[in-house]
Structure 1
């Protein structure tokens, strides 16, 4: 049977003990609905609770909760148990709770997520060998830093890491260590980026932690500096470190309005980047900014003009297609929103230092 995670917005005054009682009520009658309660998470401070349940469908979960205690979940999503464990550390009740009558678990499902990306910056022949060697070294170090700071590596592939932390402080300190490593062993051919955000596992999206992952990736992809965090992460870090003073100058803290702008920018970019007719004026209209205000905001937060941002986004997509070697240069040019193969080749050479045709030859050798 599929496994689901549901979200309960817990009323004020309801404690972890009350949630444990409701969980026990579920377990007593779950067989009537062909369900099996695996575990739950409760966060008294944020007034949220999440249940992990094996069930035939979402309706069975709603009916079970309705009959057991009347607290119907606000949202239910289907999940993979392995993915849940990689984010949250467990898919059954923790050992310390199993011998108690109620299995009271005051364990928040709120997590801080860090995305690390290492991307090609230039494409000289020597840079590919340098990149591969650097990636191997950085990969081992990043994983070691994550483990040392009690992080869980949720996803890892070439040049990409998604890491989950219970502690905001551990996430921030881990990111600083990773950045320090990069600064000590600077590799000019690699663009090194880190984005950190925080949130709950179930929202209006269909996948677990989808909003939080997306935010971390957006900060990683477009924020002006190499290490960026949301204002929420910053506030949580400050609350965990009240006796410490001073802000790490290497960390770029984005305000809520900055984050909202970046989200709108990237959501629109992802919709229109394949359309060669898209212009800076279109971005301004969509985001509700005048031409001059959009330019100033983009330079301040992203470090690029609207046209420069769109061009770089398209080129990154084009580079991914070139690496797959499933399309020719002309096809890639049009797929990625360039008006002609000639213009695509010109832009590609300006950014990466070689023509796409030469890059293809180089990667095949």
Structure 2
């Protein structure tokens, strides 16, 4: 049976005890709708609650809530049991305290998410050197995550997605990983390895289709796009200062993304990811579409990426093409056109200028 997570906005005056009572009312009538209430999370501070429920469909879930207490969820998404547990640490009610009739769960579902990226599919070490680097890097990261209670959602040789309950743990862990990276990077060619870390935060259910999608998307874009190697959102910074009596992060090594920059980044990437592959998509097109003059767009992009709009668009396409080549999604000509270049020859020229290797040579040396 499908598993769903829903989101409820808690009115002022409703407490964790009230939410616990509503959960009990759900359990009393769930059998009438073929549902099974697994657990819930309640956050009095942010006025939100999230229910995890097995149900035949979304309507059955809504009908159950309506019958039990009349509180319709504001959003519902289908989720995976393993993923929910990875992010939030449980999929059942925590054990009830002894001598209590009601199991009151005042446990926020708010999390800080860390994205770590160390590779761009281009710089590859020799097999034995790559293995040594990989082992040292993963051992170092694992040690920091264990110390600061980070929950690994997914990882591969070069990337991590990690969930933290504590903002302070997330920030301190990221700082340690960033600092330690120089000690695991091969000394013979430190330029071949770069580390990007981003921290964002959010709740599991929003208007998006997937769990924590907004926070994951933002952190990933911060890693990919922002010129500084270590970036946190303004919300993460504010929460860190609040938890630590206004202690501040080291702004010399950490970029704090302002709310206005976060909004621009989201607006920019939502648009460009939809249009980047079209050959007629140019800077004039997307400056007008985003509602900025050329000078405004140039200033904003340089602040975030260190690049002009033309260079940003070209390098964005090249990076997409690099991934396609790495995954062998077509031949060079097909990938050139798919990436928005008008000719394979021009694509090869740009690729060589950026990566100092021809696409044909890259395919021979670097593909899976």
Q: Which band: TM-score by shorter chain?
A: over 0.9
Structure 1 residue 96: deviation in Å? 4.7
Spell out, residue by residue over 1:141-161, the C-alpha distance to the aligned partner (whole angstroms, 9 max, x if none).
Answer: 223211211010001123111
TM-score (norm 1): 0.94
Q: Which residue of 1 aligns with 2:94?
A: 94
Aligned-CA RMSD value: 1.9
Counterparts of 1:127 and 1:318 in 2: how far apart (Å)?
23
Decide which of 224, 231, 254 is 1:221's aligned counterpart.
224
User: Equivalent residue for 2:169?
Assistant: 170
Tell me, in whole angstroms, the C-alpha distance in 1 between the residues paired with 2:148 and 2:104.
27
Please list, as runs of the form range in 1=range in 2, the aligned pairs for 1:242-261 lying within 5 A after superposition.
242=245, 244-245=247-248, 247-261=250-264
Cα deviation, residue 61, structure 1: 1.1
Given that 1:114 and 1:196 are in contact with CA atoms closer than 8 Å, whether structure 2 keeps it comes out as: yes
Q: CA deviation at 1:95?
A: 2.4
Q: Deviations over 1:98-146 (max 9, x none)?
A: 87321100000000001111123854x7577755543342223223211
1:349 counterpart = 2:352? yes
Structure 1 residue 273 displacement after superposition: 1.2
Match of 1:29 in 2: 29
2:210 maps to 1:207: yes
Q: How does 1:11-22 map to 2 (within 5 A)?
A: 11-22=11-22
Deviation digits for residues 48-74 of structure 1 (CA, Å, limit 9, x no counterpart) = 000000111111111111111111111
Relative to structure 2, which stretch is displaced further, 148-157 or 244-253? 244-253
Could you say if the C-alpha distance between residues 196 and 248 of structure 1 is closer, same or farther in structure 2, counting changes exceeding 3 Å?
same
Is 135-144 or 159-168 further displaced after alignment? 135-144
Q: How does 1:236-247 map to 2 (within 5 A)?
A: 236-242=239-245, 244-245=247-248, 247=250
Q: Give secondary structure in 2 for the equivalent of 1:119.
A: coil
Structure 1 residues 246 and 330, CA, compared in 2 at 3 Å: closer, same or farther? closer
Report the more deviating stretch, 269-278 or 17-26.
269-278
User: How far apart, in 2, do the equivalents of 1:254 and 1:241 lie?
Assistant: 19
Matches for 1:48-127 after TM superposition, within 5 Å: 48-97=48-97, 100-120=100-120, 123=123, 126=125
Query: In the alignment, which residue of structure 1 is the partner of 2:322?
Result: 319
Q: CA–CA distance in 1 between the matches of 2:308 and 2:119?
A: 21
Paired position in structure 1 for 2:144: 145
Seen in structure 2, the aligned counterparts of structure 1 residues 189 and 121 have a Cα distance that, compared at 3 Å, is: farther
When normalised by structure 2's length, the TM-score is 0.94
Give the whole-Å Cα distance in 2 for the aligned partners of 1:120 and 1:201: 29
Structure 1 distance, partners of 2:255, 2:227, is 8
Render the CA deviation track for 1:226-272: whole Å, top value 9, x for unaligned: 01111111111111111535634211001100000111111111011
Q: For structure 2, list consecutive stretches of 5 or more residues without a partner in the other structure.
A: none
Select which of 267, 282, 287 maps to 1:284.
Answer: 287
**Which residue of structure 1 aligns with residue 312 of structure 2?**
309
1-structure distance, mates of 2:64, 2:270? 37
Specify whether residues 311 and 141 from structure 1 end up closer, same or farther in structure 2 by C-alpha distance, changes over 3 A only.
same
1:336 — aligned with what? 339
Distance 1:280 1:144 in 2: 44
Quote the Cα distance in structure 2 between the aligned partners of 1:98 and 1:304.
60
Corresponding residue SS for 1:197: strand
8 Å Cα contact 2:241-2:248 kept in structure 1:
no
SS across alignment from 1:120:
coil
Cα drift, residue 77 of structure 1: 0.9
Partner of residue 157, structure 1: 156
